[in-house]
């Protein structure tokens, strides 16, 4: 039976979502086309009717996964985003977690199309983080953007480093705790208490 255009598009989207999950869980080199299509419920031969190459699927699946992070972050304050991102729950859920943290290292060695998807994803996450006004207080747009990039780099780096440690190791948790504390402190508004009064309070 001939597949309609609508069904073909739905099938393609299903393969992209499946790939997004598997790539995050196993890495780009850890998933072959045969296994990927089987996981999606299709035959190997159908792959090249939908995609020109695995690289094309990698780029589309990266965009799909990063879009999920953007969607989840919408409506969240930057502080709430940090608390959810730099957490044991996120660290332990590679398959459904942020594509940036799961595959950023792999992406650096991939095609321009894959890296372009990650670059677009960074811009999308930055835009989502700025919606709550956390970095809009600065009159300098470049400074506001720099603050957003700094925050994103810190949360992604915290998860990458924590995952690099043995599961449930004290260091893995220590990295998350230390980074989360420092990132949240950087988001707090500067204290307006005069320095002299602060020092007196600390002595007391």
Asked whether residue 201 is assigned to any structural domain, the reply reads no
Asked whether residue 106 is assigned to any structural domain, the reply reads yes
Asked whether residue 195 carries a pLDDT value surpassing 90, the answer given is no
For residue 61, the enclosing domain spans 5-189
**Within 13 Å of residue 76, how many CA atoms lie on the same side as its CB?**
18
Label residue 95 by pLDDT band (50, 70, 90): very high
Asked whether residue 91 is assigned to any structural domain, the reply reads yes
Q: What is the torsion angle, in degrees rounded to the nearest 10, for the CA atoms of residue 185, residue 186, residue 187 and residue 193?
A: 70
- Closest listed residue to residue 153, CA positions, set 85, 54, 84: 85
- Spell out where the chain has E strands: none
Asked whether residue 195 is assigned to any structural domain, the reply reads no
**pLDDT value, residue 202:** 54
For the chain, give the mean pLDDT: 88
- Write the CATH number for 161: 1.10.357.10
Domain count, the chain: 1
Asked whether residue 168 carries a pLDDT value surpassing 90, the answer given is no
Asked whether residue 127 is assigned to any structural domain, the reply reads yes
User: Tokens 């709430």 sit at which residue?
Assistant: 80
- Closest listed residue to residue 66, CA positions, set 109, 127, 108, 15: 127
**pLDDT value, residue 194:** 54
CA 75 – CA 187 distance, rounded (Å):
17
Asked whether residue 126 carries a pLDDT value surpassing 70, the answer given is yes
pTM of this structure: 0.84
Asked whether residue 198 is assigned to any structural domain, the reply reads no
| Structure-model confidence comparison of residues 8 and 184, the more confident one | 184
Asked whether residue 178 is assigned to any structural domain, the reply reads yes
Asked whether residue 184 carries a pLDDT value surpassing 60, the answer given is yes
State the average pLDDT over residues 60-74. Answer: 92
Asked whether residue 147 is assigned to any structural domain, the reply reads yes
């Amino acid at each position: 039976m001939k597949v309609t255009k609508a069904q073909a598009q739905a099938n393609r989207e299903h393969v992209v979502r499946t790939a997004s999950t598997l790539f995050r869980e196993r890495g780009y080199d850890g998933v072959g086309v045969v296994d990927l299509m089987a996981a999606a419920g299709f035959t190997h031969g159908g792959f090249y009717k939908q995609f020109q190459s695995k690289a094309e699927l990698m780029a589309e699946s990266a965009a799909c996964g990063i879009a999920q992070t953007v969607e989840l972050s919408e409506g969240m304050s930057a502080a709430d985003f940090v608390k959810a991102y730099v957490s044991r729950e996120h660290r332990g859920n590679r398959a459904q977690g942020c594509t940036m943290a799961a595959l950023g290292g792999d992406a650096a060695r991939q095609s321009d199309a894959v890296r372009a998807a990650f670059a677009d994803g960074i811009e999308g996450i930055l835009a989502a983080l700025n919606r709550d006004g956390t970095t809009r207080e600065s009159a300098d747009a470049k400074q506001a953007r720099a603050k957003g990039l700094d925050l994103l780099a810190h949360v992604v780096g915290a998860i990458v480093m924590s995952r690099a440690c043995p599961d449930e190791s004290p260091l893995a948790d220590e990295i998350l705790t230390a980074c989360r504390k420092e990132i949240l402190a950087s988001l707090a508004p500067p204290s307006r208490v005069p320095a002299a009064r602060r020092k007196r309070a600390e002595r007391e």
